[in-house]
Chain A
Amino acid sequence: MGEPSPVLEMTGIRKVFPGVVALDGVDFRLFPGEIHALMGENGAGKSTLIKVLTGVYDIDGGDITLGGAAVRFTGPLQSQKAGVSTVYQEVNLCTNLSVAENIFIGREPRRLGRIQWGLMRKRAAELLARLDLNLDVSASLDTYSLAIQQMVAIARAVDVSARVLILDEPTSSLDASEVEQLFKVMRRLKEEGVAILFVSHFLDQVYEVSDRLTVLRNGKLIGEYKTAELPQVQLVEKMIGKELAVLDDLENKAQRTRAKTAEAAPILSATGLGRTGAIAPFDLTINAGEVVGLAGLLGSGRTELARLLFGADRADSGTLQIDGKDVTLRSPQAAMKHGIAFSSENRRTEGILGELTVRENIILALQASRGWTRPIPRRKQDELVDKYIKALQIRPADPEREVRMLSGGNQQKVLLARWLITEPRLLIIDEPTRGIDVGAKAEIQKLVAELSDGGVAVLFVSAELEEVLRLSHKIEVLRDRRLVEELENTEGVDADRIMQTIASGATS
């Protein structure tokens, strides 16, 4: 084909970690003026490839050419100098400094050793204007939203070196309009001839913005495709390497098991339960084996409601019955005694203890519920942990690995395992699938369905309506910290119907 020559070409890249081949003969090309998505499940080798490209890791085999010349990066600084810049998911800027400083620090315009603040601010404003951003460049960065901070990071990156820009999960914490703004910036840069490598878990975004994509699986190259020529379903199949039958199978399951759960005894029922400032009083009944979905926008009170049921926050009105008896949940421990488990939305800060091993993390809640004076025998621990590592397909299947070494999806599974091991009767899971890839998502959804079949009630909190619809028997719709509607998940209910409810509660 009459293609221009690639600005970056990686051939036969091989990277081995002790016991794992992270990249096995991977080829990757990046052309000037294109947005190229790098796709793959967690653990497929995306991060490793990026780290190789940015010089964080040295390679064990293969060649990298940048602009036609062979290169070998020994550190992020060196790759940056050669023209490869990276903007990570967590914005790596100093938020205590001003916008202008964040763009120019280390490269400030100076005269006689003295920083020329005026000139620096002028240049920063011009640079941002090129990206259609109008900011007060002398304001400190922490006065701006994460989305803006990210764009400042991009501005810095392209100003430092404008040939190759790597965006690693830039959109995972942005809302829809911010994503649009980011895409606008990306397209602008593309027109200027920058080659952009884009990593995202959101397939829609990949299809909206990318020209070409490369799929990795288990450290191997699956292929390079033009985005427009590869249907989404085929892409997902290539990423997870199996048919999507699992998901299709789930579709009708909720309805099939509905009759059974509707008649089951209620495990938990709340009447007028509420907490001032967090969630208005609500009624809610959850039966054994029932999957109840909580739908609503960010900040609509989903997490707040869940926290009340787990005793993480105390209700200041209403009553809560568990198995028909009135209870007051003073603490999470009290809820755990009643067989309620809560898997937190914030796996990094509230759930996972990164320094501990997989085994220690999984065993934590069970140990806590037994009390620390009665340690679980090591053999029993190993037995339980092995069982759940297998059941949830946690990878790598090494109970002694530190959890922080695992990918996001696998951390989420460890967190789930921690609660499953306590054999709860009601499992509350808050955003279990955020920031994890399609394959792991499907596995977690499948797991929820299996739990429900086994008689465990699940309160499923998710921002993704499709997911809520697929799994739930009934759906509680929240809006402005108020439970506005309860919907039986029958034939007529779809995402539009729920969105209507979320939107139409707009009386205030």
Chain B
Amino acid sequence: MTTVDMTPATNKSNSPTNPRRRVYLPNTKYIPILATLTLLLIMYFTGVANYRNFGQPSVVVNLFRDNAVLLVVAVGMTFVIITGGIDLSVGAVISMTTTLTATLLAGGWPPLVVLPLVLLLGALLGAGMGAVIHFFKVEPFIATLAGLFLARGIALFINQNSIPIRDKLWKSLSEYRIVLADGVVTKVTSVTAVVVVLIAAAVLAWTRFGRNVYAVGGNADSALLMGLPVGRTKIAVYTLSGFCAALGGVLFSINSTSGWALQGQGLELDAIAACVIGGVLLTGGSGYVFGSLLGVMVYGLIQTIITFQGDLNAAWTRIIIGLLLFGFIVLQRVVTRRAK
């Protein structure tokens, strides 16, 4: 769905005299994403063949339930990485959001005030980091590392312990079940994550802001000379990533009906890994939200398989992700080199 803008099928009528496009070979841009899709299908059908009940729809639906937070965070990360940046602060922003949410709710704040407030805070922190990156020409790695410490510090300052949430709205959101089909139910958090993916994909493909994100990642100097708002775009993607992280934090607090300052440690790295596995180029300029979705699914499916297997150490998730990352980074290199 996100790739509609690039598919040659939609514009064949434009260039009848120029059949340069190969129909049978995928564009090099899609190779990483197709590789991930193939991998995902292989993993899925291996699971179906080997484990009882793996083929039930609930397995797929639960993937979204279990990875809703990661998915939302990865969407924000995708925008940042396409501009050629990186956001290390997202895990810490999640912990800050959950702690703040739980504390405020415990303090009797109305939930409909708390919700926009924490989302705004996440976005503001992101905007701040984006501004530092743009105006002071600071490396995104360093600026967002500072953001990481700041957000984690604020969370720990508020409360070092896990805080339970007893708010009615949070409770009901946590318990609400959406019936998709007979025996297949999902939660509000999964639906939110899917909606975020769809909106983000549409924004990237069909808005000026989305295209500017690609332009900035392709060549920021050129983008500037072409008159594009490079600074505004950069700040916007970090704002968006901060917002997504805060939203992830809200989903987390709904899922667990608690807030904890040590929540989401290392989640930024999971999100980056998901993006890379999903074919988002770390050097910027290329990638799709749909790819990051596939990356998250690969991540989740590995965990599902390990659960089904039963006698495997959970450390295998990390080992396999590590190997996959190596594989996909090499693939990206090969593909970009061939495109040159």
Question: Contact flags (1/0) for B1-32 with A, using CB distance below 8 Å?
Answer: 00001101011001101101100000101000
CB-defined contacts of A97 to chain B, threshold 8 Å: 211, 214-215, 218
Asked if A80 contacts B227 (CB within 8 A), the reply is yes
Asked if B206 contacts A114 (CB within 8 A), the reply is yes
On whether A96 and B226 interact (CB within 8 A), knowing A121-B11, A136-B21, A139-B21, the answer reads: no
On whether A137 and B15 interact (CB within 8 A), knowing A106-B227, A114-B207, A115-B211, the answer reads: yes
Q: Would you give the shortest CB distance from B21 to chain A, in whole angstroms?
A: 6
Most buried by A among B10, B222, B223, B340: B222
Out of A93, A136, A143, which one reaches B226, CB within 8 Å? A93
In the complex, chain B residues 249-292 whose Cβ is within 8 Å of any chain A Cβ: 285-286
Answer whether residue B228 sits at the interface, using C-beta atoms and an 8 A cutoff.
yes
B12 — nearest CB in chain A belongs to which residue? Answer: A138
Q: How far is the CA of A475 from the CA of B62 in the complex (A)?
A: 74
Answer whether residue B225 sits at the interface, using C-beta atoms and an 8 A cutoff.
yes
In the complex, chain A residues 76-135 whose Cβ is within 8 Å of any chain B Cβ: 76-77, 80, 88, 91-98, 101, 105-106, 108, 110, 113-115, 117-118, 121-122, 125, 134-135
Q: How far is the CA of A469 from the CA of B249 in the complex (A)?
A: 73
Q: How far is the CA of A92 from the CA of B223 in the complex (A)?
A: 8
Asked if B20 contacts A139 (CB within 8 A), the reply is yes
Answer whether residue A217 sits at the interface, using C-beta atoms and an 8 A cutoff.
no
Out of B6, B11, B29, B211, which one reaches A105, CB within 8 Å? B211
Answer whether residue A63 sits at the interface, using C-beta atoms and an 8 A cutoff.
no
Q: How many residues of B contact A (CB 8 A)?
A: 34
Answer whether residue B339 sits at the interface, using C-beta atoms and an 8 A cutoff.
yes
Answer whether residue B139 sits at the interface, using C-beta atoms and an 8 A cutoff.
no
Across the A-B interface, how many residue pairs have beta carbons closer than 8 Å? Answer: 96
Q: How far is the CA of A199 from the CA of B20 in the complex (A)?
A: 34
Question: Contact flags (1/0) for A26-52 with B, using CB distance below 8 Å?
Answer: 000000000000000000000000000
Most buried by A among B5, B14, B219, B286: B14
Answer whether residue A333 sits at the interface, using C-beta atoms and an 8 A cutoff.
no
CB-defined contacts of B219 to chain A, threshold 8 Å: 92-96
Answer whether residue B52 sits at the interface, using C-beta atoms and an 8 A cutoff.
no
A116 — nearest CB in chain B belongs to which residue? Answer: B206
Answer whether residue B99 sits at the interface, using C-beta atoms and an 8 A cutoff.
no
Q: How far is the CA of A95 from the CA of B215 in the complex (A)?
A: 9
Answer whether residue B144 sits at the interface, using C-beta atoms and an 8 A cutoff.
no
Q: How far is the CA of A138 from the CA of B15 in the complex (A)?
A: 9
Q: Would you give the shortest CB distance from A112 to chain B, in whole angstroms?
A: 10
Q: Would you give the shortest CB distance from B287 to chain A, in whole angstroms?
A: 10
Q: How far is the CA of A108 from the CA of B207 in the complex (A)?
A: 9
Answer whether residue B212 sits at the interface, using C-beta atoms and an 8 A cutoff.
yes
Asked if B218 contacts A96 (CB within 8 A), the reply is yes
Known: A92-B221, A138-B21. 10 other contacts (CB 8 A): A97-B214, A105-B228, A115-B5, A115-B207, A125-B14, A134-B15, A135-B18, A140-B27, A140-B29, A156-B226
Using a CB–CB cutoff of 8 Å, the interface residues on chain B facing chain A are: 5-6, 8, 10-11, 14-15, 17-18, 20-21, 27, 29, 206-208, 211-212, 214-215, 217-219, 221-223, 225-228, 285-286, 339-340
